[in-house]
């Protein structure tokens, strides 16, 4: 394969809570409404922001994280997107330089122009100084322009625009408005399907951004050349051929990387989805996967589903391989904050006032290392000894990984493409 060129933009900010997701969604929707094919990505291992961006673009949104994905995986995904799209848009994570690796590291490695969005409330001429400093901190970055977010008036937007150095383009402004703000909770933004008027909010933001352009049009970023991947997956590697994996997916279990679903299908698996909240029986399957989500919010409904509890107990007794990640592990434990759960894993969990785990970690299995991510507010208390523990990026002990009969459980969210063979073993062992 040869390199593919496509206009591309990475949207970052000075810090978290600057409005990156809203601005990225507005840009994507404005381009999509003009007839362009838009593909979106999210820096970091986040689950919630990609749901918003998928609504804006009309396509699944994949994660880009140098630690979790690895450089080769990112290269392959960007190259494929460049073959399919008219424009690629990437939402950064936290502030531009926050994290190791950071959004800036991805932008520099793949030569992707960087746009900055800045919450300009309470700010005027300092806006230009802040933006100039962010770009000049690492001169190798390609400045694509800046968006003023939460502006108070057209005059305020003019002050921001006039404060910019001549070499930094103005990409427009989004006024402060309840019409397109996005609600949040303890793990981040609300799920896209919980926001009933999300389409209207994104469209309103896109229209407001277009209205701030001198000609009412949103310019495309410059084209970026994306190199072809050095290696392509082997079509003959299909360890899950002929197997059906049943995946919990509903309001309580929604943290699923699209890349993980692709990986399972590429290894030959047939995927079936079910709702532990509402279904009374399990699909016929060779393995079960309980991903993370919000079981603590839906604990009473899960607890009341006695038929699902019995079905899961029978499946576990039959030795059907099961993987439970984070919220999935919480639901398969004995209780969440004293509310009885499905009871496959000895021990219980309790919600805490601040997060208990955060960051990319690495788990070593018989088939090699599987990359993962953790972010949770609950604590697990169990007498079950860990099978082993992951390690953090600093080489310190990380999250425990438990094995109880055919059940593998951890607070980790595994990234299957980092080691498909090790991922397949979780559903066949």
Would you mind telling me the total number of residues written for the chain in this entry? 429
Can you read off the two tokens belonging to residue 222? 């410059």
- Strands (E) located in 268-367: 270-274, 287-290, 292-293, 322-325, 333-336, 339-340, 345-351, 357-365
Q: Would you call 429 exposed, middle or buried from its count of C-beta atoms within 10 A (0-12, 13-18, 19+)?
A: middle
Q: Is residue 74 helix, strand or coil? A: helix
145: nearest Cα among 221, 85, 225:
221
Which of 43, 254, 263, 326 is an active site residue? 326
Beta-bridge mates of residue 56? none
Give Cα 418 distance to the centre of its chain: 16
Question: Do residues 45 and 413 make contact, with C-beta atoms less than 8 angstroms apart?
Answer: yes
Q: Tokens 């690629």: give the residue.
A: 88
Q: Tokens 């060779």: give the residue.
A: 286
Alpha carbons 394 and 310: distance in angstroms, whole number: 42
Alpha carbons 304 and 318: distance in angstroms, whole number: 23
330: nearest Cα among 357, 373, 292, 359:
292
Does 43 qualify as catalytic in the annotation?
A: no
Residue numbers annotated as active site: 326
């Amino acid at each position: 394969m040869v390199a593919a060129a496509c206009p591309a933009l990475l949207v970052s900010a000075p810090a978290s809570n600057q409005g990156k997701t809203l601005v990225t969604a507005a840009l994507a929707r404005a381009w999509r409404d003009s007839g362009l094919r838009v593909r979106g990505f999210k820096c970091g291992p986040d689950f919630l922001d990609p749901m918003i961006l998928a609504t804006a673009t009309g396509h699944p949104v994949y994660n880009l994280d140098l630690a979790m994905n690895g450089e080769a995986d990112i290269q392959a995904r960007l190259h494929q997107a460049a073959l399919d799209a008219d424009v690629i848009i990437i939402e950064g994570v936290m502030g531009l330089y926050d994290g190791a690796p950071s959004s800036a590291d991805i932008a520099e490695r793949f030569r992707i122009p960087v746009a900055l969005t800045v919450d300009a409330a309470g700010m005027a001429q300092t806006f230009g100084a802040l933006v100039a400093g962010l770009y000049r901190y690492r001169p190798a970055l390609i400045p694509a322009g800046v968006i003023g977010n939460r502006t108070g008036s057209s005059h305020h937007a003019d002050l921001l625009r006039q404060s910019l150095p001549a070499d930094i383009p103005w990409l427009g402004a989004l006024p402060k408005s309840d019409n397109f703000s996005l609600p949040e909770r303890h793990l981040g933004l609300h799920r896209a399907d919980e926001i009933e008027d999300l389409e209207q909010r994104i469209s309103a933001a896109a229209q407001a951004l277009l209205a701030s352009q001198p000609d009412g049009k949103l310019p495309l970023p410059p084209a970026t050349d994306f190199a072809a991947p050095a290696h392509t997956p082997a079509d003959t590697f299909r360890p899950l051929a002929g197997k059906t994996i049943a995946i919990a997916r509903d309001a309580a279990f929604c943290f699923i990387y699209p890349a993980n679903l692709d990986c399972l299908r590429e290894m030959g698996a047939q995927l079936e989805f079910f709702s532990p909240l509402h279904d009374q029986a399990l699909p016929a399957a060779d393995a079960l996967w309980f991903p993370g989500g919000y079981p603590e919010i839906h604990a009473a409904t899960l607890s009341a589903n006695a038929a699902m509890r019995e079905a899961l107990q029978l499946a576990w007794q039959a030795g059907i391989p099961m993987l439970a990640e984070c919220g999935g592990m919480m639901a398969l434990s004995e209780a969440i904050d004293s509310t009885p759960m499905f009871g496959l894993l000895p021990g219980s969990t309790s919600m805490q006032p601040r997060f208990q785990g955060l960051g990319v970690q690495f788990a070593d299995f018989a088939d090699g290392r599987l990359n993962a991510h953790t972010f949770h507010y609950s604590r697990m208390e169990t007498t079950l000894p860990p099978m082993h523990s992951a390690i953090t990026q600093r080489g310190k002990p990380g999250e425990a990984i438990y094995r109880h009969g055919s059940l593998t459980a951890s607070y980790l969210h595994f990234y299957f493409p980092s080691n498909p063979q090790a991922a397949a073993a979780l559903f066949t062992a």
